[in-house]
């Protein structure tokens, strides 16, 4: 049984991960952590996430008792987790999005000492989409325009989503285009013709949408669309727990969900 800690435990994803971990015999939930000052500090995470007390209170202190830590918080929180896990030798799964290159570099530095899975999206289907987007982009010529549209719930803070950016990165890598310079975020004005060798990026925030991503390739005469729709956050929560099981036995290093899933 893996001793698991969750950072960002009071968020939408954190609560779903906690609920599913409490049902999974592979895990013992030993810590639920959120930011200092959070109104739910001191509450039992079982009551919050699964409707019954389990004896684990939400705290603002990371626990060295954990054997794996899952982080779904904010970029600054993910960096704090990485520093703590590096010091304590705890494997880390990071699902937090919205990080810049400097923050990702801090995680890479920590991965020299501990195993870290960093994923913009933890669903199997989306990680297959990453692979397919790159393959299609490589197979098609530059005569095909490329547009990415992502839709999420109204409460999502960062835009575009980490998944949309990873899709664009995979495409740019396959095309040998400069990323992120090749991105065009939306369009407006009377002179807004698309430029060659660019990827259009569009973020929609709509109601309670869990997550939709479309990659469109269009030429004069045809359109090809790759699309993934997440119907529930459990898709990502199951992926995070799968990553936690996998990383518990890995050496120090930088991993993604394709490594976890063997893609």
Q: Which residues are catalytic?
A: 152, 156
Alpha-carbon distance of 244 to 229, in angstroms, equals 24
Full 3-state SS string of the chain = CEEEEEECCCCHHHHHHHHHHHHCCCEEEEEEECCCCCCCCCCEHHHHHHCCCCCCEEECCCCCCCCEEEECCCHHHHHHHHHHHHHHCCCEEECCCCCCHHHHHHHHHHCCCCEEEECCCCCHHHHHHHHHHHHHHHHCCCCCEEEEEEEECCCCCCCCCHHHHHHHHHHHHHHCCCCCCCEEECCCCCCCCCCCCCEEEEEEECCCCCEEEEEEEEECCEEEEEEEEECCCHHHHHHHHHHHHHHCCCCCEEECHHHHHCC
Q: Is the preceding peptide bond at 262 cis, omega within 30 degrees of 0?
A: no
Alpha-carbon distance of 168 to 76, in angstroms, equals 24
In degrees, rounded to 5, the angle at the alpha carbon of residue 51 between the alpha carbons of residues 232 and 1 is 80
């Amino acid at each position: 049984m893996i001793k698991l800690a969750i950072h960002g435990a009071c968020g939408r994803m954190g609560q779903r991960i906690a609920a599913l971990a409490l049902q999974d015999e592979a895990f013992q939930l030993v810590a639920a952590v959120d930011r200092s000052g959070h109104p739910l500090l001191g509450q039992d995470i079982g009551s919050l996430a699964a409707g019954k007390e389990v004896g684990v209170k939400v705290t603002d202190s990371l626990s060295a008792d954990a054997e794996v830590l899952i982080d779904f918080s904010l970029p600054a929180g993910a960096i704090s987790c990485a520093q703590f896990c590096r010091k304590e030798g705890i494997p880390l799964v990071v699902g937090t999005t919205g990080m810049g290159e400097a923050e990702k570099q801090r995680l890479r530095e920590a991965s020299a000492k501990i195993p870290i899975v960093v994923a913009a999206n933890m669903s199997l289907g989306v990680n297959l989409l990453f692979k397919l987007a790159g393959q299609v982009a490589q197979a098609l010529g530059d005569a095909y325009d490329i547009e990415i549209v992502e839709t999420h719930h109204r409460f999502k803070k960062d835009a575009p989503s980490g998944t949309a950016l990873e899709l664009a990165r995979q495409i740019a890598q396959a095309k040998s285009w400069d990323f992120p310079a090749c991105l065009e975020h939306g369009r407006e004005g009377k002179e807004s013709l698309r430029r060659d060798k660019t990827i259009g990026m569009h973020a929609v925030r709509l109601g309670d949408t869990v997550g939709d991503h479309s990659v469109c390739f269009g030429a004069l005469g045809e359109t090809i669309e790759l699309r993934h729709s997440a119907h529930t956050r459990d898709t990502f929560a199951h992926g995070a727990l799968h990553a936690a099981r996998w990383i518990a036995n890995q050496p120090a290093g930088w991993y993604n969900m394709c490594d976890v899933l063997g893609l």
